[in-house]
Structure 1
Amino acid sequence: MHPIRTTIIAAAATVVAALAVPPEAAAHELSPLGANWYAAAPYLMPESNNPPDPVAVMSATGQKAFQLAFILAPSGGGCTPTWDGTSPVASDTTAAATIGRIRDAGGDVSVSVGGYGGTKLGQTCADPGSTAAAYQQVIDTYGLRAIDFDLEEPEYENDAAINNELGAAQILQRDNPGLFVSVTMPGTQAGTGWFGTQLLDKARNLGFTPDDYSIMPFDGGFSGASSQTDALEQFHALLMSHLDWDSATAYAHEGFSGMNGKSDAGEYFTQSDFQTVLSYATGHGLSRFTFWSVNRDRACGSSTDNGVCSNVPQNDWDFTRFTVQFANTTR
């Protein structure tokens, strides 16, 4: 198994002094979670898509960490971090309050940068250093110990933007010892596409190795769990060939980021599909198992909005329970 990196967490007063955490966030002591929980943190949008109460989810499932999404460039342009392109991190209170409640309940968060929509900081910042400085503001503001780079279209196809993102990730990893860094990218039936292999090559040339590379095997003609585990096997081969890793090392840096229920492309992934992929992940020593999203982890009622419910029969938080199983298996 991939070694779980842990860090010693200072007292709240030290966190305030060293990281300049604003008062509303500083009042909440960081929970000493292992990397297994950051690697099993499902995505949750704290400021859109009818966010559920994360503490209620924690109480119902045993989940201890969430992947809060997404940090973007301002919708009007610039190189400062915002939530969803509209809410500046510098003046945020909504996400800070969510993080505080999660920490008060014994959990913690990672924050995801990028995603599918909006303009990414890698597209608007001038270079890796300025991109890293924008993300460092997020780390400092919320006292983060984990960050996810969700690199998707169109940024994914922009050479300069990907150079900025990967270079920033490397700088953050260097400047924040113990920071858990994951890189998430689109999945295809071949593992990942041409831009994904270019991303791996760029990271290798930089000498940058994240804790995990995850693919998203959905929205690409997938049908159930077998197509997803096949894609993970293909991606495993790409990790070996592009990074010169042996099989065990490749599995130990590989992750799954699924979509629960109905995907944007009309694919369906049920609880049984998640169970199959979970068994594959734990059986092969994968280092991450997550999904999009907790906002969707509930049955649809009068609305079938795919952003706020799964469009498959389920009880609330059925899919979150699989990430809990992964964390408990890999601790």
Structure 2
Amino acid sequence: MHRRKLASILAAATVAAGTALTLVTHAGAAAGATAALSNNWYASAPYLMPQSNNPPDPAAVMAATGQKAFQLAFILAPDGGGCSPTWDGTSAVSADTTVAGVIGKIRGAGGDVSVSVGGYGGTKLGQTCSGASGTAAAYQQVIDKYGLHAIDFDLEEPEYENDAAIGNELGAAQILQRDNPGLFVSVTMPGTSAGTGWFGTQLLDKSKSLGFTPDNFSIMPFDGGFDGASSQTSALEAFHSLLMSHLGWDSAAAYAHEGFSGMNGKSDAAEYFYQADFQTVLDYATSHHLGRFTFWPVNRDRACTTTTDNGVCSNVSQSDWDFTKFTAKFAGATPPTTTTTTTTPAGSCAVAAWSATTAYNGGAVVSYDGHAWTAKWWTYGDIPGGGAGVWIDNGAC
């Protein structure tokens, strides 16, 4: 699933073992600790890599979108082994100042963060720590260091297929939930057209056997043969059925504990998800009262200009932070309206603007959103850059 680039830019540091203290007793001592936001913000927090993949200025994103929270990724075991938390496997949490500075900037702008543990790639603490209690103690160091009010368990391959490791992760989540009253806990897993795969259903069964109920279970419906919003909402509906059958919840409870974690623009498997797709899934999430709506990641919530690196731009036509505005809307915010003024060189975009009420034959050329577009085939009402894939982007004009 998430083919996430963990190109960390910091050197490894030595970890000092810390004593696990509860959020209630220690949060006030953590640098930059702040009061918790309402849970709708943690439920909407989009992922952000704070150390790699050309991280944006989070305060600027907040000002442009109204988003107040971010999901910082990822906490892993050290690349050299051991049971101590690091950023991306290389930067010891105990010695960190870089991510702490990012968190301070977000909180200074009136926001907050959740921290995501796991992700795709790297070695997870559930694989290296001794049991659930040892795993929980490692994560408690992260909660204490940053005065966290929220944490995300992103359980993916290869740990996802390791029953003992998943037991450590879920058991640790349960311990943290108990020892840190009010802690918002999300669990994220791969998505399939059936909702989730066999390992996902085993994860649900293990959660039930532990008596562990997070704030939500979220699926990632991308990198698995998905095609636009309709395939994603279908997967969410299938996952809703799995939550009912495996956890014994009624329909309303299942929806309330269900979440969506998407990917904006071009996915790692060359699927495309446009702004219109996000709007459709957002409408589904709000109408069914889902418990979470997020995406991977803010680092690539911008158009590609000098590069097509999928880790730092979306490879679809967009304005900066278009997709983050959807998470802010899920939280109940109205994103600020921005006006972009562009100067068009003489002779450029000389073709007529696209019209929703005009039928176009294949080969027709139009202008839309500052780009020229060529129709692949006959089309009517399909927005250039939209999910139908009718239009070829000829570039800025």
TM-score by length of 2: 0.77
2:327 pairs with 1:323: yes
State how far apart, in whole Å, the 2-side matches of 1:16 and 1:269 are. 38
State how far apart, in whole Å, the 2-side matches of 1:308 and 1:329 are. 26
- The match for 1:19 is 26
Query: Structure 1 regions of 5+ residues with no counterpart?
Result: 1-14
- The match for 1:78 is 82
| Percent identity between the two aligned chains | 79
- The match for 2:196 is 192
Query: Cα deviations across residues 159-194 of structure 1 (Å, max 9, x unaligned)?
Result: 110000000000000000000000000000000000
Query: Cα deviations across residues 32-68 of structure 1 (Å, max 9, x unaligned)?
Result: 4100000000000001111000000001111100000
1:79-158 alignment to 2 at 5 Å? Answer: 79-158=83-162
8 Å CA contact 1:21, 1:140 repeated in 2: no
- The match for 1:201 is 205
2:272 pairs with 1:268: yes
2:305 pairs with 1:301: yes
Greater RCO (CA < 8 Å, at least 6 residues apart): 1
Report SS of the residue matched to 2:224.
coil
Amino acid at match of 1:197: T
Relative distance call for 1:16 and 1:258 in structure 2 (3 A) is closer
- The match for 1:257 is 261
8 Å CA contact 2:23, 2:179 repeated in 1: no
Amino acid at match of 1:313: S
State how far apart, in whole Å, the 2-side matches of 1:30 and 1:65 are. 13
State how far apart, in whole Å, the 1-side matches of 2:195 and 2:326 are. 22
Q: CA deviation at 1:137?
A: 0.2
8 Å CA contact 2:152, 2:188 repeated in 1: yes
State how far apart, in whole Å, the 2-side matches of 1:100 and 1:207 are. 35
Q: CA deviation at 1:29?
A: 4.8
8 Å CA contact 1:29, 1:104 repeated in 2: no
2:241 pairs with 1:224: no
Report SS of the residue matched to 1:118.
coil
Q: CA deviation at 1:84?
A: 0.3
Q: Whose helix fraction is larger, Structure 1's or Structure 2's? A: 1
Q: Which residue among 264, 286, 296 is the counterpart of 2:290?
A: 286
State how far apart, in whole Å, the 1-side matches of 2:172 and 2:178 are. 10
8 Å CA contact 2:42, 2:70 repeated in 1: yes
Query: Cα deviations across residues 239-270 of structure 1 (Å, max 9, x unaligned)?
Result: 00000000000000000000000000000000
Greater Cα radius of gyration, structure 1 or 2: 2
Query: Structure 2 regions of 5+ residues with no counterpart?
Result: 1-21, 335-397
Q: CA deviation at 1:119?
A: 0.5
Q: Which residue among 47, 50, 59 is the counterpart of 2:51?
A: 47
Query: Cα deviations across residues 88-127 of structure 1 (Å, max 9, x unaligned)?
Result: 0000011000000100100000000000011000011111
Q: Which residue among 133, 142, 166 is the counterpart of 1:162?
A: 166
Q: CA deviation at 1:20?
A: 6.8
8 Å CA contact 1:278, 1:289 repeated in 2: yes
Report SS of the residue matched to 1:255.
strand
Report SS of the residue matched to 1:328.
coil
Greater than 6 Å deviation, 4+ residue runs:
none
Amino acid at match of 1:18: T
Amino acid at match of 2:209: N
State how far apart, in whole Å, the 1-side matches of 2:225 and 2:320 are. 27
8 Å CA contact 2:76, 2:117 repeated in 1: yes
8 Å CA contact 2:186, 2:214 repeated in 1: yes
Q: Which residue among 51, 59, 80 is the counterpart of 2:63?
A: 59
Q: CA deviation at 1:18?
A: 3.2
State how far apart, in whole Å, the 2-side matches of 1:288 and 1:108 are. 16
